[in-house]
Amino acid sequence: MYLNKTVLELHELLVSKMVTPLELVNEAIEIIRSDDCKAYEATNFDAAIAKAKSIGEIKKGEYFKGIPYVAKDNFSTAGIETTASSNVLNGYVPLYDAEVISRLDKAGAILLAKTTMDELAMGGSGITGHKGVSKNPYDKSRIAGGSSCGSAIAVSRGEVSFALGSDTGDSVRKPASLVGIYGLKPTWGRISRYGLFPFAQSLDSVGYFARSVDDLAILTTLLAGYDEKDMSSSTRSSCDYLKES
């Protein structure tokens, strides 16, 4: 298995051609199809395979090029049904990508699927999504926490090495702690929320899960920085958070 490794470890394997993006995507798809924790809302497999095949040489420092990931189902994703785990939004297909999805796409990351959550992010247990109770991969009689339950489960099960979530109260930090991985809620305004379905505007933050603190650092480096489409976005430019850490 490759996807139980960190982003930085996978990057070294990709640069040295020890593995290809397509091999990573195919492995992830196989594991996702065996999911029994109710972690997913929608998949993007055909597009993910096509993108993996199109990726050429990967240079050192292109950390996310060729790396598969998943995103909580409250991020707008063009052409992919986005319901925020609510029957109210069944059939809604956005026409645009959230800013963080766009930045990851430009960096060469490969979106595999949208993950389940507490309905409209209004919960902390992972049990209120319209597809039922999400289960802790370590003990399926227990919860994974919420509201970003599906993304936490995906990283914990080794389906992907990182995943996007959102955090208003503790919706990234709690599930990360319950499934034994790392989760970060960045400073409010540090990451653009354009395309993230709002819950509480003065508290909502884009967050993310990973298998190491260093991976959280390189994610923050990529995603931080001003976005004119988000009026609450900080004008402070990004920096090398891996070096700073």
Per-residue pLDDT of the chain (245 residues; tens, 9 = 90+): 788 999 999 999 999 999 999 999 999 999 999 999 999 999 999 999 999 999 999 999 999 999 999 999 999 999 999 999 999 999 999 999 999 999 999 999 999 999 999 999 999 999 999 988 999 999 999 999 999 999 999 999 999 999 999 999 999 999 999 999 999 999 999 999 999 999 998 999 999 999 999 999 999 999 999 999 999 999 999 999 998 75
Residues 118 and 76: beta-carbon distance below 8 Å: no
User: What is the number of alpha carbons within 13 Å of residue 199 lying toward its C-beta?
Assistant: 21
Pairing of strands 162-167, 68-72: parallel
- pTM of this structure: 0.96
What positions carry a catalytic annotation? 72, 147, 171
Architecture of domain 7-244: Alpha-Beta Complex (3.90)
User: In Å, what is the CA distance from 71 to each residue of 127, 149, 152, 168?
Assistant: 18, 11, 10, 16
